[in-house]
Amino acid sequence: MIHASESDLRHAFHKHHSAVQETKAACSYLLLFYAVECGLKSIWLKRNNLTGTDRIKNPTLLSKDGHNFGVWIKALRLPLDVVGDISNLKLPSFSLHKDGSNWNMSEAHQAWRYGVRINSQDQNALVEWLEKVCTWIKENINR
């Protein structure tokens, strides 16, 4: 695993989210996904007075793929108006256009990275949710 500093993650959030505004193709959704990941991790590190991901001792936070937004959202206690009930957190899920198979939010980056089409309603819901979290991140990342 390549470790990143809080500053690296904060800058990555801003760069990725800025690039999303310039590109409106499926690749922008991939950048949006990674912006959320970087933003959540940056805020968590800052709140816990840690300089980088190499300082995280909780193995739950650094799962093998690092894309478990539910863990980061619970750790940061995002407000109900952003993510709903944290005690019973349900992240958006999606189905693939080609076969209707259902997938967890944490796998969306794979579909977007590989160009696999997601059901359009589900994709819209995923993007809307990611943007909502980005708005919260923007409001909290420099605190």
The mean pLDDT of 101-127, rounded to a whole number, is 93
Q: Identify which has the larger pLDDT, 91 or 12.
A: 12
59 is written with which tokens? 């193995």
Residue-level pLDDT at 130: 94
Three-class SS of the chain? CCCCEHHHHHHHHHHHHHHHHHCCCHHHHHHHHHHHHHHHHHHHHHHCCCCEHHHCCCCCCCCCCCCCHHHHHHHHCCCHHHHCCHHHCCCCEEEECCCCCEEEHHHHHHHHHHCCCECHHHHHHHHHHHHHHHHHHHHHCCC
* 16: pLDDT strictly greater than 70: yes
pLDDT per position as a tens digit, 43-93: 999 999 999 999 998 877 876 556 788 888 888 989 888 887 666 677 889
Q: Identify which has the larger pLDDT, 142 or 119.
A: 119
Indicate the length of the chain as a whole number: 143
Residue-level pLDDT at 86: 63
Residue-level pLDDT at 68: 83
Residue-level pLDDT at 112: 93
Average pLDDT score, the chain: 90
pLDDT per position as a tens digit, 120-129: 999 999 999 9
pLDDT per position as a tens digit, 86-104: 666 778 899 999 999 999 8
Record the pTM. Answer: 0.91
Contact 61, 75 (CB under 8 A): yes
Residue-level pLDDT at 95: 96
Which neighbouring-strand residues pair with 5? Answer: 52
Alpha-carbon span 125 to 4, nearest angstrom = 29
